Amino acid sequence: MAQARKFELTDDSVVVIVGTGAGGGVLANELAQKGVKVVALEAGGRYLPEDYINDEWESFGQLAWTDPRTTSGDWRVAKDFAGLPAWIVKAVGGTSIHWAGASLRFQEHEWKARTTYGAVEGASLLDWPLDHAEMAPWYDKAEAKLGVSGVGGRPRLPGSNNYKVLEKGALALGYKEVHTGNMAINSVEYDDRISCQQTGFCFQGCKWGAKWSAAYTDIPRGEATGNLEVRDHAHVARILHDDKGKVTGVEYFDKDGQLQMQKARLVCVAGNSYESPRLLLNSASSMFPDGLGNASGQVGRNYMRHTTGSVYGVFEKPVRMWRGTTMAGIIRDEARHDPSRGFVGGYEFETLSLGIPFMAAFLDPGSWGREFTTALDSYENMAGMWIVGEDMPQADNRVTLSETKDAHGLPVANVNFSDHPNDIAMRNHAYAQGQAIYRAVGATRTLPTPPYPSTHNLGTNRMSEKPDDGVVNKWGRSHQVENLYISDGSQFTTGAAENPTLTIVALAIRQADHIANEMSAGNI
C-alpha cells in the first residue's frame, strides 16, 4: 500500500468522519474515491486478519469496546452485564470486524412502520423519510461491495451441521423460506478475497478475509486514493462550532492522550448508537445547551437493539455447531408483518453458535448448579439459533450522559432500555417456535436463552421527515446544523427485522453521493 496521505490539523477543507465501521469506514472510502479529502478518526487500534484470534475471550480483549458504560431499565443485560450493554468493537473497521455477515434488505413495509403497524401504545413509531424504491439501487451497490451470497449471481454458502438441523426442523414445521442466507461471506472467491473456509470464529474477525469488513477492504482502498487519512487511537471528545452554528472541527485525544483539534468543512458522526449521541450531548455549548443538533430533544432517544434471544437444542447425537460459518442459516417465514400472532412486525431465525467459554458466560447469566452445567455437558450435541426481530422505538429507551467518566474525564453513555410489550410478545412467540423447530428434529432438551449484550444498536439520532420528530433528515443530515451528518445505525428511524449492516452500508454509499454533490454545488 502506498503511504497514506496526511492532512494538517488546520486544513479546514477536509471532511472529518468520527468512527470507521460499516458506516464511517464505507463513507470514508466512498468519499475518497470521489476525490473528497477525508480525515477519519478512530478511537481504537488497527488490526488485520493476521492479528485476529480464534479464542473468544482473548479476541474480546483485543477488539471489544470495554471503556466504561452504564445501564438502567428493566432489561436483563443491565443486571447481568451492567457495564457491558453492547458487544461491539473498538478498532479501525469497527464492528464490521465482529459482525456475522448476515446481509438482508429491509422488507418494503418496514420503511413505513408507523403507517403499516398503526399507532402502538407506548411506542414512538415513525415512517422513514425513505422508501423501498429509493433504496433499491443503493442496496444493489451495497450487495456488490460486500459480495453478498445468494444475490447478484453469487451462490449461497454450503450448509453446516448447525444449518442442517435448523433446516430439517424448519421444513418439518412447514416453513418455506429456509436457506443459508444472504451473507457478506464469500461462497466463491470475490473481490480479491478468498471463499469461506468454514473455520467458525466469525465473531472474532475472519482470519481468511472471506467475510467483508471495512478494516481490510474500504479502509485500505480509501487510503490508496491519497484522499483518506485514518488516525487510530483518536478519541473524539467534542464537536466545535462557530457563532453561526456551523461545525468547524473536532477536538480529540490522540494516542498519547494529548488533546488535538482538527478543523473540518463538515463532520460525519459514525460512532455507533451509543457513542454518536454521546458525542453530540458532550458537545453542548451555550448555543446548543441540550447538545449539538438537539433542538428537538430527540438526540439519544428511541434506542433500539432488536428483539433478540437464542434457542439451543440438545440432541441424542453430536451436532458440533461451532464448526463452519456461524450465521449461514436462516428461516424468514416469521419476518412478515402479521398481527394475528399477537404482535406487530416480524423476526428472523438465524443459526448461531458460541464456543464453550462464551456459552458459559451467556447461556443463562448468573445461573449455576446442575440445571446449568448439564446443558454445557451436552455442548457437543447442541444446535443453536438466534432470534432477531423488530423492536418498538420508545422515547425513554435512550442514551444519556452518565455520572461516570471515562479515562479522558468525559461523561460516558448511560443506556436505558426496557422491553415494550410488543417485544416481549414477539420474543415469546419466537421462543415457542424455535423450541418446536428443534423438537421436530428430536431435541431432548431446549433452552430459550436470554438476549446477549447488544450487537444491533440502532436509533438514538433518528431520521425523520419533520425536524421535531428526529435528529437528521433523509440524507442523515442534521435538521439543525447544516454541515453535521450522522452516518451510522443511530440514524435508523425503525429497526426492521433484518440485521442492520447492509442497510448501514447502503445508507453510507448513498450519503457519500449526496455529500459529494452538495460539496460540488457549493451547498456545504
Partner 1 sequence: MTGLSKQGLTRRALLSRAAALGALTVVGAGFIAAPDAAWAVEVTSISEQEMATLVQMARDIYPHDRIGDRFYAIAVKAYDAEDKKAMVSEGIAALNEAAKQAGFDSYVAAGWEADRVAILRSVQDTPFFQTVRGGLVTGLYNQKEIWPLFGYEGESFSQGGYINRGFDDIDWL
- Residue 364 C-alpha cell reads as 443463562
Residue 67 CB, nearest approach to partner 1 (Å): 20
C-alpha–C-alpha distance, residues 182 and 106, integer Å = 13
Residue closer to partner 1 by CB (options 361, 436) is 361
Min CB(313)–partner 1 separation in Å:
13
Residue whose CB is less far from partner 1, 284 or 361: 361
**Which residue's CB is nearer to partner 1, number 79 or number 466?**
79
- Positions that interact with partner 1 (CB under 8 A): 54-55, 57, 158-161, 164-165, 168, 196-201, 207-208, 316-320, 322-325, 355-357, 359-361, 366, 368-370, 372-373, 376-377, 379-380, 441
Q: Which is nearer to partner 1, 344 or 383 (CB)?
A: 383
Q: Least Å distance between CB 482 and partner 1?
A: 48
> What does residue 260 show for φ and ψ, rounded to 5 degrees?
-120, 160
Q: Report, in Å, the least distance between residue 199 CB and partner 1.
A: 3
Q: How far is the CB of 161 from partner 1 (least distance, A)?
A: 4
Q: Which is nearer to partner 1, 342 or 357 (CB)?
A: 357
Minimum distance of partner 1 from residue 373's CB (angstroms): 5
CB 142, CB 509: distance < 8 Å: yes
Q: Which CB sits closer to partner 1, 52 or 288?
A: 52
Kindly report the CA angle at 72 between 237 and 20, in degrees rounded to 5? 35
Closer to partner 1 at the Cβ: 60 or 303?
Answer: 60
Measure the CA–CA gap between 514 and 524, rounded to whole angstroms.
11
Nearer to partner 1, 55 or 67 (CB): 55
Would you state the cell numbers that stand for residue 375, as one nine-digit string? 446443558
Q: Going along 242-280, which residue ranges are E strands?
A: 247-253, 259-263, 266-269
**Nearest approach, Cβ of 435 to partner 1 (angstroms)?**
18
Which C-beta is closer to partner 1: that of 438 or that of 492? 438
| H-type alpha helices, 182-265 | 218-224
Ramachandran sector of residue 8 (left: φ over 0; alpha: ψ -120 to 50; beta: rest): beta
Find the shortest distance in angstroms from Cβ 452 to partner 1: 14
Distances (CA, A) of 257 to 170, 253, 284: 53, 5, 22
Cell of 500: 442492520
Distances (CA, A) of 469 to 458, 464, 472: 16, 6, 9
Nearer to partner 1, 224 or 360 (CB): 360
CB of 368 to partner 1, least distance (A): 5
User: Cα angle at 505 between 449 and 347, to 5 degrees?
Assistant: 30
Give whichever of 157 and 250 is closer to partner 1, judged by the CB atom.
157
Give the length of the chain.
Answer: 524
From the CB of 62, what's the least distance to partner 1, in Å? 14
**Smallest gap, in angstroms, from Cβ of residue 374 to partner 1?**
9
Among 59, 33, 7, smallest CA distance to 219 is for 33
Closest CA to 361 of 261, 270, 450: 450
Q: Name beta bridge partners: 497.
A: none
Nearer to partner 1, 208 or 260 (CB): 208
What are 89's strand-pairing partners?
64
Rounded to an integer, what distance in angstroms lies between the CA atom of residue 43 and that of residue 271? 9
492: CB partners within 8 A, 6+ apart: 304, 458, 459, 462, 463, 500, 503
User: Are residues 487 and 27 in contact, defined by beta-carbon separation less than 8 angstroms?
Assistant: yes
- Minimum CB distance to partner 1, residue 487 (Å): 32
Instruction: CB nearer to partner 1: give 179 or 301.
Output: 179
Q: Minimal distance in Å, beta carbon 361 to partner 1?
A: 5
CA dist., res. 390 & res. 420, Å (int): 11
Sequence-distant (≥ 6) Cβ neighbours of residue 462 within 8 angstroms: 126, 298, 301, 302, 393, 469, 470, 471, 472, 490, 491, 492, 493
> Could you tell me if 282 and 410 are in contact, meaning their C-beta atoms sit under 8 angstroms apart?
yes
